[in-house]
Chains A and B, each alone.
Chain A
Amino acid sequence: MERTSFDIVVVGGGAAGLRAAIAAAESDPDLTIALVSKVYPMRSHTVSAEGGTAAVLRDYDSFELHALDTIKGSDFLADQDAVEFFVARCPEEIIRLEHWGCPWSRDEDGRVSQRAFGGMSVKRTVYAADKVGFHILHTLFQTSMKYDRIHRFDEYFVTSLIVDAGACTGVVALNLRGGSMVAIQGKATILATGGCGRVYEFTTNGFIKTGDGMALAYRAGVPLKDMEMVQFHPTCLPGTGILITEAARGEGGYLINKDGERYMQRYLPGKMELGPRDILSRAMVQEMKEGRAFEGPYGLYLGLDLRHLGAKKINERIPMVRELAEKYMGLDPVHEPIPVRPGQHYIMGGVSTNLKGETTLPGLYAVGETACVSINGANRLGSNSLSECLVFGAACGHAAVEFAKRRSTYPRGAAAREALKREEARVFDDLLGRERGKETVAGIRIEMQQLMERDVGIFREESALSDACGMLGKLRDRFASVGLADKDRVFNTELTAVLELDFMLDITMTIAHSARNRHESRGAHSRTDFPQRDDANYLKHTLAFQTDGPPRIDYVPVTITKWQPVERKY
């Protein structure tokens, strides 16, 4: 019989989950680790990251500078102790990946290359052409095959955490291929399921990014932190939302409006195209409002002009940009600007953790985009997220091992059996039993995505946010009557879509309510009715707790070590 009790259960097989699993496996040969993912790990969304990953590796740079850039980028909402911990550990993680075979791009002297990125004041971003996430993911996944003690549960969809006597003791998961539910018990459980971009209509995120880990923790009583902080990336392809990496600008690309003007000179002359993403996305919306954008079949857009870089540099440094533009826009960036517009890309918020990945529920950890430590505050700098997955993946893996070792026995089976029974009843008897009627999973999902796009987007204000909060409540009510046409248990992707939508409806409520309650503009959170940052009242993290109705909102202070908040000027 397949083993179902482990020391560590990791949910999610992207960069953060794999790094945590390997850290746990390396720390002790006697430990057993379950790696549970709703997709084969190499399909995880880390694969789509393009531009690079940050670390201080050269004399011209310093931890102090990386920390300051990150904190300033965060509009002073990052916890500075976490940022200091983070920047000090990025170099060893990048070099570890190098030792494991990651094909980093190299300088002529044989050292790892670094490129410029938005909001980073020096060349700090390590890269492997513009397929950085792909190479990191495959390097980690293939390296994980070294360890027999990592037991993979590929294509298992986690539906609930098991909580026993005030601690998390594993997960209940739907085995997609077998069409059965299984309890996977662990002394410690790590959530590493990535972000929730699919709550928006126009996003760079893959189809699988539905905030599962965030919702699992939230339902177990763990607060979600800073969920109003949603990052919109300025350069996405109209129509599809496919990301064009910031490395295109790091390597010297221009943003132009329909008059051919490098319009960033009117918004951020000191940084131009290498400003942080929140500022660039707002500038784009402004250009659109003032009639200086191009018009296309999918609405307004601006131009990303790479022509002056030349074919050689484009092929060498950003080949995927050319591949994507040719394939999905039918144009060659060597000869034509690429149409781009802002789109949802990342969420700074997530499961509230400390810098070991610990949550308020003993035995439950979170890491990567799922988590909010927070090093990203109100706006993440490009190339800090992959490094975050590595640094905190390792830290969280080690912390979970320490916790598991303190528990001498495996969790008792009774709580797992009870959770399993409850989930079987909820998923198979209730959800799967519902007959298809007027409400469909696709119908409600599309309404939710359009609502988030319209009312909880780049610019926000009270009446739209209050509408959104009300409408989301109504969508939640309507969700109760969604029925299914597919009654099979094996690989029922209509059923998983229902489970994901259920998670996403929880997530959207936390985003909208957290945004409505923050009466200031900070980083990515721009309130047109409160245009200024308000340190006196809002230099604090939002916490959203689950209740029977809308989330309960609370706040905790930001940790300041040595960088006092000042006006964020570039």
Chain B
Amino acid sequence: MVESEVVFRVKRYRPESGGRPTFQEYTIPYRSDMVVLDGLNYIKDHVDPTLTFRWSCRMGICGSCGADVNGQPRLTCGTYIRDVHKGAVTVEPLSNFPILKDLVVDFDDFLNKLASVTPYIVRKDWGDLTKEYVQYPEDVEAYRQQSLCINCMLCYAACPVFGSSPEFVGPAASALALRYNRDTRDQGADARLARLNTKTGIWECTFVGECSVVCPKDVDPAAAIQTLKFLATMRHMRRLLMPGASSR
């Protein structure tokens, strides 16, 4: 089923060889059902075993294989070459992150930010393990969209604010904070809003909206941040008007 060939232009960076990132071109066999990741794997297995990238599930759920493809952050396992290929497929590491080697970037900063928004259920008492907390289908629906974040980091790669102010908490961590704040089982909303209402928090966002455009799971972090701004404002007002009261 080889139909023709396709040219991959891949950005290479190898810290042990020093120097700046350079592009390398590979011409490989092409089939119309190939995704960009298939091309990278073809190169790794048959052309150049030194090419370095992450991948695992190849079904759009593990979030490992993000890269800039022809200038857009994408999951390479879910991007068909036929949809992006205009002469050549250019693959670069996700923007805005430190490059470790070739297409592999460092996400540790995100994990620290995620930890900073208390990404788990907070409760004063936990009840016993004989029965579940009641939650109606509409209660689950209230936070379902934000809970679908796979931490693929495409939103951070697309965010110009994060690009210029790396301390910005950013889209995915904010969406996940809202996910817990909207969960009827949680009692930690106040602390999360306090965290997000800091100078590295949600007010940095200028509502460019690129994060939601590139999100492969329709989490819509831009909308989540706008909602959080509203909730943080309400919390602030309540604290002014009713000192001592906590918000949910």
Q: Which residues of A contact B (CB under 8 A)?
A: 39-40, 42-45, 47-48, 91-92, 95-96, 98-101, 103-112, 131, 134-135, 138, 142-143, 145-146, 154, 177, 179, 206-208, 239-240, 242-243, 297, 320, 323-324, 327-328, 436, 440-442, 446, 484-486, 488-494, 497
Give the chain B neighbours of A110 by CB distance below 8 A.
Answer: 134-136, 139
- Mark contacts of B176-193 with chain A using CB atoms, 8 A cut-off: 1 yes-contact digit, 0 otherwise: 100010010110000000
**Which of A39, A44, A143, A484 is the one whose CB lies under 8 Å from B120?**
A143
Residue of A nearest to B106 (CB): A177
Interface hub of A47, A243, A446, A492 (most chain B Cβ within 10 A): A47
In the complex, residue of chain A having the shortest beta-carbon distance to the beta carbon of B121: A101
Pair A242/B56 contact, Cβ less than 8 Å:
no
Are A206 and B62 in contact (CB-based, < 8 A)? Answer: yes
B109 interface residue per 8 A CB criterion: no
Chain A residues in 8 Å Cβ range of B108: 154
Q: Report whether over half of chain B's contact residues are helix, strand or loop; otherwise say mixed.
A: loop
**In the complex, what residues of A have CB within 8 A of residue B46's CB?**
442
Q: Tell me whether A327 and B78 are in contact in the complex, defined as CB-CB below 8 angstroms, given that A100-B120, A131-B61 are known contacts.
A: yes
CB-based contact A490/B136 at 8 Å: no
Extra 7 A-B pairs, beta carbons < 8 Å, given A39-B54, A488-B16: A40-B151, A100-B120, A107-B137, A138-B147, A142-B114, A207-B58, A491-B104
Q: A45-B56, A99-B121, A486-B50 are in contact. Are A297 and B100 (CB under 8 A)?
A: no
Known: A98-B132, A111-B134, A297-B1. Is A142-B143 also a contact (CB below 8 A)? Answer: no
B147 to A135, Cβ gap below 8 A?
Answer: yes
**Selected interface stretch from B123-131, B154-162, B200-208, B227-235:** B123-131
- Please determine whether A92 and B56 come into contact, CB atoms closer than 8 angstroms: no
Contact B119 A145 (CB under 8 A): yes
Bound Cα distance A328, B135 (Å): 34
Indicate if the CB atoms of B52 and A493 lie closer than 8 Å.
yes
> A47 contacts B62, CB within 8 Å?
yes
> Looking at chain B, what size class is its interface with the partner chain?
35 or more
Q: Is A99 a contact partner of B129 (Cβ separation < 8 A)?
A: yes
A145 contacts B60, C-beta separation under 8 Å: no
With beta carbons under 8 angstroms apart, the residue of B48, B129, B148, B185 that contacts A485 is B48
Q: B63, B129, B149: which contacts A96 (Cβ < 8 A)? A: B129
CB distance from A93 to the nearest CB of B (A): 8
**Docked pose: A91 CA to B107 CA in angstroms:** 36
- A106 (CB) vs chain B CBs: closest residue: B137
Do residues B139 and A106 form an inter-chain contact, with CB atoms below 8 A? yes
Which of B59, B100, B133, B140 meets A328, CB within 8 Å?
A: B59
A45-B63 Cα distance, complex, nearest whole Å: 11
Q: How far is the CA of A497 from the CA of B53 in the complex (A)?
A: 12
The 6 A-B residue pairs with the shortest CB-CB distance in the complex, in nearest-first order = A110-B134, A442-B45, A206-B56, A142-B119, A486-B50, A101-B121
Shortest CB distance A435–B (Å): 13
Q: B132: nearest residue on chain A (CB-CB)?
A: A98
B residues less than 8 Å from A100 (CB atoms):
120-121
In contact, A490 and B15 (Cβ under 8 angstroms): yes
- Interface membership of B5, Cβ < 8 A: no
Q: Which B residues are in CB contact (< 8 Å) with A103?
A: 140, 143-144, 147
Pairs across A and B, CB under 8 Å, 27 listed: A40-B64, A40-B151, A42-B62, A42-B150, A42-B151, A48-B57, A99-B126, A101-B120, A101-B121, A105-B140, A106-B135, A112-B132, A138-B151, A206-B57, A207-B56, A240-B58, A242-B59, A324-B59, A327-B78, A440-B49, A442-B45, A485-B48, A486-B52, A489-B16, A490-B101, A492-B52, A493-B52
